[in-house]
Structure 1
Amino acid sequence: MYTQAALFASFVGLAASAVTNTNLQTVFPATSGTTALAAVKTISAGQSFDGEMKQWDRSPSTCNDQAEGGDADAVFLLQDGATLSNVVIGPNNGEGVHCLGTCTLNNVWWTDVCEDAATFKQNSGTSYVNGGGARKASDKVLQHNGGGTVAVKNFYAETIGKLYRSCGNCDTQYARKSTFTNVKVKDASVLAGVNGNLGDTTSISNSCLLNSAICWLYEGNSDGDEPTKTASAPDGKVCATSTIKTSGC
Protein backbone atom coordinates (compact mmCIF):
# COMPACT_ATOMS: atom_id res chain seq x y z
CA MET A 1 0.00 0.00 0.00
CA TYR A 2 1.34 3.43 -0.91
CA THR A 3 1.41 6.02 1.83
CA GLN A 4 0.19 9.54 1.14
CA ALA A 5 3.75 10.84 1.55
CA ALA A 6 5.15 8.28 -0.90
CA LEU A 7 2.46 9.03 -3.47
CA PHE A 8 3.07 12.74 -3.20
CA ALA A 9 6.83 12.30 -3.52
CA SER A 10 6.38 10.07 -6.57
CA PHE A 11 4.06 12.58 -8.21
CA VAL A 12 6.41 15.51 -7.53
CA GLY A 13 9.36 13.52 -8.91
CA LEU A 14 7.52 12.74 -12.13
CA ALA A 15 6.37 16.32 -12.51
CA ALA A 16 9.87 17.69 -11.98
CA SER A 17 11.31 15.43 -14.69
CA ALA A 18 8.68 15.98 -17.39
CA VAL A 19 7.15 19.42 -17.50
CA THR A 20 6.92 22.33 -19.86
CA ASN A 21 5.80 24.72 -17.12
CA THR A 22 5.86 24.46 -13.35
CA ASN A 23 3.32 21.92 -12.05
CA LEU A 24 2.42 20.67 -15.53
CA GLN A 25 3.13 16.95 -15.92
CA THR A 26 3.27 15.68 -19.50
CA VAL A 27 4.22 12.04 -18.89
CA PHE A 28 1.44 9.61 -18.06
CA PRO A 29 2.16 8.11 -14.64
CA ALA A 30 2.83 4.46 -13.86
CA THR A 31 0.03 2.70 -12.04
CA SER A 32 0.28 0.98 -8.66
CA GLY A 33 -2.19 -1.79 -9.57
CA THR A 34 -5.50 -2.35 -11.33
CA THR A 35 -9.10 -2.43 -10.19
CA ALA A 36 -12.09 -3.49 -12.31
CA LEU A 37 -15.50 -2.44 -11.04
CA ALA A 38 -18.72 -4.30 -11.78
CA ALA A 39 -20.72 -1.09 -11.22
CA VAL A 40 -20.09 2.64 -11.01
CA LYS A 41 -18.38 3.72 -7.77
CA THR A 42 -20.18 6.60 -6.03
CA ILE A 43 -18.33 9.21 -3.96
CA SER A 44 -20.76 10.77 -1.51
CA ALA A 45 -21.43 14.49 -1.25
CA GLY A 46 -18.57 16.35 0.36
CA GLN A 47 -16.37 13.24 0.60
CA SER A 48 -12.89 12.62 -0.82
CA PHE A 49 -11.56 9.47 -2.46
CA ASP A 50 -7.86 8.73 -3.10
CA GLY A 51 -7.36 6.12 -5.82
CA GLU A 52 -3.70 5.54 -4.83
CA MET A 53 -2.62 5.78 -8.48
CA LYS A 54 -4.30 2.50 -9.38
CA GLN A 55 -5.84 2.02 -12.81
CA TRP A 56 -9.62 1.94 -12.43
CA ASP A 57 -11.84 0.33 -15.04
CA ARG A 58 -15.21 -1.36 -15.56
CA SER A 59 -15.68 -5.10 -16.05
CA PRO A 60 -17.38 -5.87 -18.30
CA SER A 61 -16.47 -2.78 -20.30
CA THR A 62 -19.16 -0.13 -20.72
CA CYS A 63 -17.43 1.48 -23.72
CA ASN A 64 -19.62 1.60 -26.82
CA ASP A 65 -17.55 3.87 -29.05
CA GLN A 66 -19.29 7.27 -29.35
CA ALA A 67 -22.72 6.13 -28.17
CA GLU A 68 -23.92 8.52 -25.47
CA GLY A 69 -23.80 6.84 -22.06
CA GLY A 70 -25.29 7.63 -18.67
CA ASP A 71 -24.26 7.68 -15.03
CA ALA A 72 -24.34 3.88 -14.85
CA ASP A 73 -21.64 3.65 -17.55
CA ALA A 74 -19.10 5.73 -15.62
CA VAL A 75 -16.27 4.52 -13.41
CA PHE A 76 -16.85 7.19 -10.75
CA LEU A 77 -20.02 9.09 -9.90
CA LEU A 78 -19.33 12.16 -7.75
CA GLN A 79 -22.10 13.75 -5.75
CA ASP A 80 -22.10 17.47 -4.93
CA GLY A 81 -18.81 18.68 -3.42
CA ALA A 82 -16.97 15.35 -3.80
CA THR A 83 -13.23 15.13 -4.57
CA LEU A 84 -11.47 12.44 -6.62
CA SER A 85 -7.66 12.24 -6.47
CA ASN A 86 -4.76 10.16 -7.77
CA VAL A 87 -6.63 7.97 -10.24
CA VAL A 88 -5.72 6.47 -13.60
CA ILE A 89 -8.83 5.57 -15.59
CA GLY A 90 -8.38 2.83 -18.16
CA PRO A 91 -10.11 2.25 -21.52
CA ASN A 92 -12.92 -0.10 -20.50
CA ASN A 93 -15.59 2.47 -19.71
CA GLY A 94 -17.99 4.62 -21.65
CA GLU A 95 -18.04 7.56 -19.24
CA GLY A 96 -15.02 8.02 -16.99
CA VAL A 97 -16.27 10.48 -14.34
CA HIS A 98 -19.71 12.03 -13.85
CA CYS A 99 -20.08 14.98 -11.46
CA LEU A 100 -23.68 15.48 -10.37
CA GLY A 101 -22.83 18.74 -8.58
CA THR A 102 -19.63 20.70 -8.22
CA CYS A 103 -16.59 18.45 -7.88
CA THR A 104 -12.80 18.53 -7.74
CA LEU A 105 -10.57 16.23 -9.79
CA ASN A 106 -6.95 16.17 -8.59
CA ASN A 107 -4.30 14.33 -10.61
CA VAL A 108 -6.80 12.23 -12.57
CA TRP A 109 -5.58 10.60 -15.81
CA TRP A 110 -7.45 8.95 -18.68
CA THR A 111 -5.34 6.57 -20.78
CA ASP A 112 -7.80 5.99 -23.62
CA VAL A 113 -11.05 8.01 -23.59
CA CYS A 114 -14.16 6.28 -24.91
CA GLU A 115 -17.16 8.67 -25.08
CA ASP A 116 -16.23 11.40 -22.56
CA ALA A 117 -13.55 11.52 -19.86
CA ALA A 118 -15.51 13.70 -17.42
CA THR A 119 -19.01 15.19 -17.53
CA PHE A 120 -20.03 18.15 -15.34
CA LYS A 121 -23.69 18.46 -14.41
CA GLN A 122 -23.81 21.06 -11.64
CA ASN A 123 -26.53 23.70 -11.81
CA SER A 124 -24.15 26.40 -10.59
CA GLY A 125 -20.84 26.84 -8.78
CA THR A 126 -17.34 25.84 -9.86
CA SER A 127 -15.81 22.45 -10.56
CA TYR A 128 -12.02 22.13 -10.62
CA VAL A 129 -9.66 19.99 -12.68
CA ASN A 130 -6.20 20.24 -11.13
CA GLY A 131 -3.39 18.42 -12.90
CA GLY A 132 -3.81 15.12 -14.68
CA GLY A 133 -4.29 14.46 -18.36
CA ALA A 134 -6.05 12.54 -21.11
CA ARG A 135 -5.25 10.97 -24.46
CA LYS A 136 -6.85 9.08 -27.35
CA ALA A 137 -10.24 10.78 -27.30
CA SER A 138 -11.93 10.66 -30.70
CA ASP A 139 -14.25 13.46 -29.57
CA LYS A 140 -14.54 15.24 -26.20
CA VAL A 141 -12.53 15.02 -22.99
CA LEU A 142 -14.37 17.42 -20.65
CA GLN A 143 -18.11 17.70 -21.32
CA HIS A 144 -19.96 20.57 -19.59
CA ASN A 145 -23.70 19.83 -19.54
CA GLY A 146 -24.70 21.76 -16.41
CA GLY A 147 -24.20 25.39 -15.46
CA GLY A 148 -21.57 27.31 -13.53
CA THR A 149 -17.85 27.11 -14.22
CA VAL A 150 -15.30 24.44 -15.04
CA ALA A 151 -11.77 25.62 -14.09
CA VAL A 152 -8.88 23.61 -15.56
CA LYS A 153 -5.28 24.07 -14.44
CA ASN A 154 -2.00 22.26 -15.14
CA PHE A 155 -3.66 19.72 -17.47
CA TYR A 156 -2.13 17.79 -20.37
CA ALA A 157 -3.93 16.25 -23.38
CA GLU A 158 -2.78 14.58 -26.57
CA THR A 159 -4.43 13.03 -29.63
CA ILE A 160 -7.94 14.19 -28.85
CA GLY A 161 -10.92 15.88 -30.48
CA LYS A 162 -12.00 18.66 -28.10
CA LEU A 163 -10.49 19.18 -24.67
CA TYR A 164 -13.68 20.95 -23.56
CA ARG A 165 -17.18 21.31 -24.95
CA SER A 166 -20.05 23.32 -23.57
CA CYS A 167 -23.08 21.24 -24.53
CA GLY A 168 -24.40 22.45 -27.85
CA ASN A 169 -27.84 20.85 -27.78
CA CYS A 170 -28.81 19.88 -24.22
CA ASP A 171 -32.49 20.07 -23.26
CA THR A 172 -31.63 22.65 -20.58
CA GLN A 173 -29.03 25.23 -21.56
CA TYR A 174 -26.94 27.62 -19.47
CA ALA A 175 -24.52 30.47 -19.91
CA ARG A 176 -21.44 28.42 -19.05
CA LYS A 177 -17.98 29.61 -18.06
CA SER A 178 -14.68 27.80 -18.45
CA THR A 179 -11.08 28.72 -17.69
CA PHE A 180 -7.82 27.07 -18.73
CA THR A 181 -4.52 27.96 -17.09
CA ASN A 182 -1.15 26.37 -17.81
CA VAL A 183 -2.49 23.56 -20.01
CA LYS A 184 -0.72 21.80 -22.85
CA VAL A 185 -2.69 20.32 -25.73
CA LYS A 186 -1.01 18.35 -28.50
CA ASP A 187 -2.65 17.07 -31.69
CA ALA A 188 -6.21 18.11 -30.92
CA SER A 189 -8.98 19.39 -33.13
CA VAL A 190 -9.58 22.26 -30.71
CA LEU A 191 -9.07 23.15 -27.06
CA ALA A 192 -12.55 24.58 -26.36
CA GLY A 193 -15.93 24.62 -28.06
CA VAL A 194 -18.42 27.15 -26.64
CA ASN A 195 -21.85 28.59 -27.47
CA GLY A 196 -21.59 32.30 -28.14
CA ASN A 197 -25.33 32.80 -28.53
CA LEU A 198 -26.07 31.33 -25.08
CA GLY A 199 -23.74 33.59 -23.10
CA ASP A 200 -20.79 31.20 -22.73
CA THR A 201 -17.33 32.58 -22.02
CA THR A 202 -13.98 30.85 -21.94
CA SER A 203 -10.51 32.16 -21.13
CA ILE A 204 -7.22 30.43 -21.96
CA SER A 205 -3.95 31.70 -20.49
CA ASN A 206 -0.29 30.72 -20.16
CA SER A 207 -0.82 27.61 -22.25
CA CYS A 208 0.77 25.60 -25.06
CA LEU A 209 -1.18 24.41 -28.10
CA LEU A 210 0.67 22.22 -30.61
CA ASN A 211 -1.09 21.34 -33.85
CA SER A 212 -4.36 22.33 -32.21
CA ALA A 213 -6.96 25.06 -32.73
CA ILE A 214 -7.64 27.37 -29.79
CA CYS A 215 -11.42 27.65 -29.74
CA TRP A 216 -14.51 27.18 -31.88
CA LEU A 217 -17.71 29.16 -31.37
CA TYR A 218 -21.12 27.64 -31.95
CA GLU A 219 -24.78 28.58 -32.07
CA GLY A 220 -26.17 26.29 -29.39
CA ASN A 221 -29.77 25.10 -29.09
CA SER A 222 -32.03 23.12 -26.78
CA ASP A 223 -33.87 21.06 -29.38
CA GLY A 224 -31.24 18.38 -29.96
CA ASP A 225 -30.12 19.57 -33.38
CA GLU A 226 -26.45 19.57 -34.27
CA PRO A 227 -25.16 23.07 -33.37
CA THR A 228 -23.78 25.32 -36.10
CA LYS A 229 -20.18 26.52 -35.88
CA THR A 230 -20.01 30.31 -36.16
CA ALA A 231 -16.27 30.98 -35.71
CA SER A 232 -13.01 29.04 -35.68
CA ALA A 233 -10.79 31.40 -33.70
CA PRO A 234 -10.82 33.53 -30.53
CA ASP A 235 -12.97 36.66 -30.69
CA GLY A 236 -11.63 38.26 -27.49
CA LYS A 237 -15.04 38.16 -25.82
CA VAL A 238 -16.67 34.74 -25.91
CA CYS A 239 -13.19 33.22 -26.19
CA ALA A 240 -10.36 35.30 -24.71
CA THR A 241 -6.70 34.34 -24.69
CA SER A 242 -3.49 35.48 -23.02
CA THR A 243 0.06 34.17 -23.55
CA ILE A 244 -0.62 31.27 -25.87
CA LYS A 245 2.32 29.46 -27.49
CA THR A 246 1.93 27.31 -30.57
CA SER A 247 5.56 26.14 -30.89
CA GLY A 248 8.64 25.73 -28.74
CA CYS A 249 6.68 24.61 -25.70
Structure 2
Amino acid sequence: MPSLLKITLFSASLVSAAITNTELQTAIPASSGTTDLAAVQTIAAGESFDGEMLLWDRNPSTCAGQTEGGDADAVFILEDGATLSNVLIGPNNGEGVHCLGSCTINNVWFTDVCEDAMTFKQVSGTSFVNGGGAAGADDKVLQHNGGGTLAVKNFLAQNVGKVYRSCGNCDEQSARLSTFTNIRVEGAKVVAGVNGNLGDSTTIEDSCLVGVDSVCDLFEGNDTGDEPSQTASAPDGTTCATSGVTLDSC
Protein backbone atom coordinates (compact mmCIF):
# COMPACT_ATOMS: atom_id res chain seq x y z
CA MET A 1 0.00 0.00 0.00
CA PRO A 2 1.53 3.34 -1.01
CA SER A 3 2.43 5.70 1.81
CA LEU A 4 0.48 8.94 2.04
CA LEU A 5 3.85 10.70 2.01
CA LYS A 6 4.32 9.59 -1.59
CA ILE A 7 1.45 11.74 -2.83
CA THR A 8 3.02 13.94 -5.51
CA LEU A 9 1.84 17.26 -6.91
CA PHE A 10 2.74 17.89 -10.54
CA SER A 11 2.81 21.07 -12.54
CA ALA A 12 0.06 21.44 -15.12
CA SER A 13 2.56 20.88 -17.93
CA LEU A 14 3.73 17.58 -16.48
CA VAL A 15 0.23 16.28 -15.95
CA SER A 16 -0.76 17.18 -19.49
CA ALA A 17 2.05 14.92 -20.68
CA ALA A 18 0.89 12.01 -18.51
CA ILE A 19 -1.37 9.26 -19.86
CA THR A 20 -4.93 10.41 -19.22
CA ASN A 21 -7.81 8.70 -21.01
CA THR A 22 -10.60 11.24 -21.29
CA GLU A 23 -12.44 9.46 -24.08
CA LEU A 24 -15.82 7.89 -23.38
CA GLN A 25 -15.33 4.41 -21.92
CA THR A 26 -18.11 1.87 -21.49
CA ALA A 27 -16.88 0.16 -18.30
CA ILE A 28 -15.09 1.17 -15.12
CA PRO A 29 -11.40 0.33 -15.55
CA ALA A 30 -9.42 -1.88 -13.19
CA SER A 31 -7.33 -0.21 -10.49
CA SER A 32 -3.56 -0.46 -10.29
CA GLY A 33 -3.64 -0.86 -6.48
CA THR A 34 -5.30 0.67 -3.42
CA THR A 35 -4.65 3.59 -1.10
CA ASP A 36 -6.66 4.25 2.07
CA LEU A 37 -6.78 7.76 3.47
CA ALA A 38 -7.37 8.50 7.14
CA ALA A 39 -8.38 12.07 6.26
CA VAL A 40 -9.50 14.00 3.21
CA GLN A 41 -6.65 14.89 0.82
CA THR A 42 -6.51 18.51 -0.38
CA ILE A 43 -5.12 19.48 -3.78
CA ALA A 44 -3.94 23.09 -3.46
CA ALA A 45 -5.08 25.93 -5.68
CA GLY A 46 -3.57 25.70 -9.13
CA GLU A 47 -1.92 22.34 -8.46
CA SER A 48 -2.48 19.05 -10.30
CA PHE A 49 -2.54 15.53 -8.94
CA ASP A 50 -2.22 12.27 -10.88
CA GLY A 51 -3.63 9.31 -8.96
CA GLU A 52 -1.94 6.74 -11.24
CA MET A 53 -5.21 4.75 -11.51
CA LEU A 54 -5.04 3.66 -7.89
CA LEU A 55 -8.26 3.02 -5.97
CA TRP A 56 -8.46 5.81 -3.37
CA ASP A 57 -10.79 5.38 -0.41
CA ARG A 58 -11.34 6.39 3.22
CA ASN A 59 -10.43 4.19 6.20
CA PRO A 60 -12.32 4.27 8.48
CA SER A 61 -15.30 4.70 6.19
CA THR A 62 -17.13 8.04 6.12
CA CYS A 63 -20.11 6.67 4.19
CA ALA A 64 -23.38 7.11 6.10
CA GLY A 65 -25.86 6.23 3.37
CA GLN A 66 -27.92 9.20 2.21
CA THR A 67 -27.09 11.32 5.25
CA GLU A 68 -25.66 14.62 4.00
CA GLY A 69 -21.95 14.92 4.76
CA GLY A 70 -19.36 17.66 4.49
CA ASP A 71 -15.85 18.37 3.26
CA ALA A 72 -14.31 16.16 5.95
CA ASP A 73 -16.13 13.11 4.55
CA ALA A 74 -14.68 13.47 1.03
CA VAL A 75 -11.66 11.72 -0.47
CA PHE A 76 -10.32 14.78 -2.29
CA ILE A 77 -10.87 18.51 -1.88
CA LEU A 78 -9.87 20.59 -4.91
CA GLU A 79 -9.13 24.24 -4.29
CA ASP A 80 -9.61 26.86 -7.01
CA GLY A 81 -7.87 25.89 -10.25
CA ALA A 82 -6.84 22.41 -9.05
CA THR A 83 -6.82 19.38 -11.36
CA LEU A 84 -7.43 15.74 -10.40
CA SER A 85 -6.61 12.98 -12.91
CA ASN A 86 -6.49 9.18 -13.20
CA VAL A 87 -8.23 8.15 -9.99
CA LEU A 88 -10.67 5.45 -8.94
CA ILE A 89 -12.65 6.23 -5.80
CA GLY A 90 -14.02 3.41 -3.68
CA PRO A 91 -17.29 3.02 -1.74
CA ASN A 92 -16.11 3.86 1.78
CA ASN A 93 -16.56 7.62 1.62
CA GLY A 94 -19.56 9.85 1.92
CA GLU A 95 -18.71 12.69 -0.44
CA GLY A 96 -16.15 11.71 -3.10
CA VAL A 97 -14.68 14.92 -4.54
CA HIS A 98 -15.45 18.50 -3.47
CA CYS A 99 -14.44 21.41 -5.72
CA LEU A 100 -14.23 24.60 -3.67
CA GLY A 101 -13.52 26.70 -6.77
CA SER A 102 -13.34 26.03 -10.48
CA CYS A 103 -11.63 22.67 -11.00
CA THR A 104 -10.81 20.09 -13.66
CA ILE A 105 -11.51 16.37 -13.16
CA ASN A 106 -9.97 14.04 -15.76
CA ASN A 107 -10.57 10.28 -15.97
CA VAL A 108 -11.90 9.94 -12.43
CA TRP A 109 -14.11 6.95 -11.60
CA PHE A 110 -16.45 6.08 -8.74
CA THR A 111 -16.95 2.37 -8.25
CA ASP A 112 -19.98 2.61 -5.92
CA VAL A 113 -21.24 6.07 -4.95
CA CYS A 114 -22.33 6.64 -1.35
CA GLU A 115 -24.06 10.03 -0.91
CA ASP A 116 -22.69 12.11 -3.82
CA ALA A 117 -19.76 11.53 -6.15
CA MET A 118 -18.75 15.13 -6.92
CA THR A 119 -19.89 18.44 -5.44
CA PHE A 120 -19.14 21.77 -7.13
CA LYS A 121 -19.03 24.85 -4.92
CA GLN A 122 -17.37 27.48 -7.10
CA VAL A 123 -18.86 30.96 -6.94
CA SER A 124 -18.31 31.52 -10.65
CA GLY A 125 -16.21 30.23 -13.54
CA THR A 126 -16.28 26.80 -15.19
CA SER A 127 -15.46 23.38 -13.83
CA PHE A 128 -14.74 20.51 -16.22
CA VAL A 129 -15.38 16.77 -15.97
CA ASN A 130 -13.56 15.01 -18.80
CA GLY A 131 -14.01 11.26 -19.15
CA GLY A 132 -14.48 8.99 -16.17
CA GLY A 133 -17.76 7.79 -14.73
CA ALA A 134 -19.73 6.54 -11.75
CA ALA A 135 -21.88 3.57 -10.81
CA GLY A 136 -24.34 2.61 -8.11
CA ALA A 137 -25.48 6.03 -6.87
CA ASP A 138 -28.74 5.84 -4.94
CA ASP A 139 -29.09 9.59 -5.34
CA LYS A 140 -26.80 12.12 -7.08
CA VAL A 141 -23.56 11.81 -9.02
CA LEU A 142 -22.86 15.49 -9.79
CA GLN A 143 -24.13 18.02 -7.22
CA HIS A 144 -23.90 21.68 -8.28
CA ASN A 145 -24.19 23.84 -5.15
CA GLY A 146 -22.18 26.90 -6.20
CA GLY A 147 -22.56 29.05 -9.28
CA GLY A 148 -20.95 29.25 -12.70
CA THR A 149 -20.84 26.43 -15.21
CA LEU A 150 -20.21 22.69 -15.10
CA ALA A 151 -19.07 21.20 -18.43
CA VAL A 152 -19.19 17.40 -18.66
CA LYS A 153 -18.08 15.31 -21.62
CA ASN A 154 -17.37 11.63 -22.35
CA PHE A 155 -18.82 10.55 -19.00
CA LEU A 156 -20.36 7.16 -18.09
CA ALA A 157 -23.13 6.74 -15.50
CA GLN A 158 -24.53 3.32 -14.60
CA ASN A 159 -27.50 2.61 -12.32
CA VAL A 160 -27.77 5.99 -10.62
CA GLY A 161 -30.50 8.19 -9.21
CA LYS A 162 -29.64 11.59 -10.70
CA VAL A 163 -26.65 12.19 -12.95
CA TYR A 164 -26.78 15.95 -12.20
CA ARG A 165 -28.67 18.18 -9.79
CA SER A 166 -28.55 21.94 -9.51
CA CYS A 167 -29.19 22.56 -5.82
CA GLY A 168 -32.88 23.20 -5.23
CA ASN A 169 -32.72 24.62 -1.71
CA CYS A 170 -29.23 25.98 -0.97
CA ASP A 171 -28.92 29.02 1.29
CA GLU A 172 -27.38 31.01 -1.57
CA GLN A 173 -28.89 30.45 -4.99
CA SER A 174 -27.87 31.57 -8.47
CA ALA A 175 -28.39 30.68 -12.11
CA ARG A 176 -26.30 27.59 -12.81
CA LEU A 177 -25.26 26.47 -16.26
CA SER A 178 -24.38 22.90 -17.24
CA THR A 179 -23.47 21.14 -20.47
CA PHE A 180 -23.29 17.41 -21.20
CA THR A 181 -21.60 16.21 -24.38
CA ASN A 182 -21.21 12.58 -25.48
CA ILE A 183 -22.27 11.08 -22.16
CA ARG A 184 -23.56 7.53 -21.80
CA VAL A 185 -26.18 6.75 -19.15
CA GLU A 186 -27.25 3.17 -18.47
CA GLY A 187 -30.02 3.31 -15.91
CA ALA A 188 -31.04 6.52 -14.11
CA LYS A 189 -34.12 8.06 -12.58
CA VAL A 190 -33.15 11.52 -13.86
CA VAL A 191 -30.30 12.75 -16.04
CA ALA A 192 -30.51 16.44 -15.05
CA GLY A 193 -32.52 18.24 -12.36
CA VAL A 194 -32.57 22.03 -12.82
CA ASN A 195 -34.34 25.08 -11.41
CA GLY A 196 -36.21 27.01 -14.07
CA ASN A 197 -37.20 29.89 -11.81
CA LEU A 198 -33.57 30.59 -10.89
CA GLY A 199 -32.37 30.89 -14.48
CA ASP A 200 -30.67 27.50 -14.73
CA SER A 201 -29.80 26.21 -18.17
CA THR A 202 -28.61 22.75 -19.16
CA THR A 203 -27.90 21.24 -22.57
CA ILE A 204 -27.45 17.54 -23.34
CA GLU A 205 -26.09 16.72 -26.78
CA ASP A 206 -24.76 13.78 -28.80
CA SER A 207 -25.45 11.39 -25.93
CA CYS A 208 -26.93 7.93 -25.34
CA LEU A 209 -29.40 7.70 -22.46
CA VAL A 210 -30.89 4.24 -21.97
CA GLY A 211 -33.00 2.98 -19.09
CA VAL A 212 -33.73 6.57 -18.09
CA ASP A 213 -37.02 7.51 -16.41
CA SER A 214 -36.61 11.23 -17.11
CA VAL A 215 -34.13 13.22 -19.18
CA CYS A 216 -34.84 16.46 -17.32
CA ASP A 217 -36.79 17.30 -14.19
CA LEU A 218 -37.54 21.00 -13.76
CA PHE A 219 -37.99 22.48 -10.30
CA GLU A 220 -38.87 25.71 -8.55
CA GLY A 221 -35.78 26.28 -6.44
CA ASN A 222 -35.66 28.22 -3.18
CA ASP A 223 -33.22 29.50 -0.56
CA THR A 224 -35.36 28.56 2.45
CA GLY A 225 -34.25 24.94 2.73
CA ASP A 226 -37.70 23.65 1.80
CA GLU A 227 -38.00 20.73 -0.57
CA PRO A 228 -38.29 22.27 -4.06
CA SER A 229 -41.46 21.61 -6.02
CA GLN A 230 -41.22 19.92 -9.41
CA THR A 231 -42.77 21.86 -12.30
CA ALA A 232 -42.08 19.60 -15.29
CA SER A 233 -40.47 16.33 -16.31
CA ALA A 234 -39.27 16.86 -19.87
CA PRO A 235 -36.89 19.09 -21.82
CA ASP A 236 -38.52 22.48 -22.45
CA GLY A 237 -35.93 23.78 -24.90
CA THR A 238 -34.89 26.62 -22.58
CA THR A 239 -34.09 25.45 -19.09
CA CYS A 240 -33.25 22.05 -20.52
CA ALA A 241 -32.42 21.53 -24.18
CA THR A 242 -31.33 18.35 -25.98
CA SER A 243 -29.75 17.63 -29.36
CA GLY A 244 -28.65 14.35 -30.88
CA VAL A 245 -29.85 12.29 -27.91
CA THR A 246 -30.57 8.57 -28.29
CA LEU A 247 -32.95 6.94 -25.81
CA ASP A 248 -33.35 3.35 -27.08
CA SER A 249 -29.89 1.86 -27.59
CA CYS A 250 -26.23 2.85 -27.69
Same fold (TM over 0.5): yes
Q: Distance in 2 between matches of 1:211 and 1:62?
A: 30
> In structure 1, the residue corresponding to 2:243 is in which secondary structure?
strand
Q: Distance in 1 between matches of 2:139 and 2:186?
A: 14
Show the counterpart of 2:7: none
Show the counterpart of 1:57: 57
> In structure 2, the residue corresponding to 1:72 is in which secondary structure?
helix
Show the counterpart of 2:239: 238
For structure 1, the residue ranges without an aligned partner over 5 or more in a row are: 16-22
- Answering whether residue 65 of structure 2 is matched by residue 43 of structure 1, we say no
- Answering whether residue 177 of structure 2 is matched by residue 177 of structure 1, we say yes
> In structure 2, the residue corresponding to 1:52 is in which secondary structure?
strand
- Answering whether residue 33 of structure 2 is matched by residue 33 of structure 1, we say yes
- 1:27 deviates by 1.1
CA displacement 1:141-183 (0-9 Å, x = unmatched): 0000000000000000010000000000000001000000000
Sequence identity percentage: 69
- 1:247 deviates by 1.6
Q: Distance in 2 between matches of 1:77 and 1:235?
A: 35
CA displacement 1:188-243 (0-9 Å, x = unmatched): 00110000000000000000000112110000000000000100000000001100
> In structure 1, the residue corresponding to 2:53 is in which secondary structure?
coil
**Structure 1 segments of 4+ aligned residues over 4 angstroms from their partners:** none
Show the counterpart of 1:20: none
In the TM superposition, 1:130-149 aligns within 5 A as 130-149=130-149
Q: Distance in 1 between matches of 2:249 and 2:222?
A: 38
In the TM superposition, 1:101-180 aligns within 5 A as 101-180=101-180
Q: Distance in 2 between matches of 1:227 and 1:151?
A: 24
RMSD over aligned Cα, in angstroms?
1.8
- 1:24 deviates by 1.1
Show the counterpart of 2:227: 226
Tell me the matched-pair count.
237
Q: Distance in 1 between matches of 2:171 and 2:150?
A: 20
- 1:248 deviates by 2.6
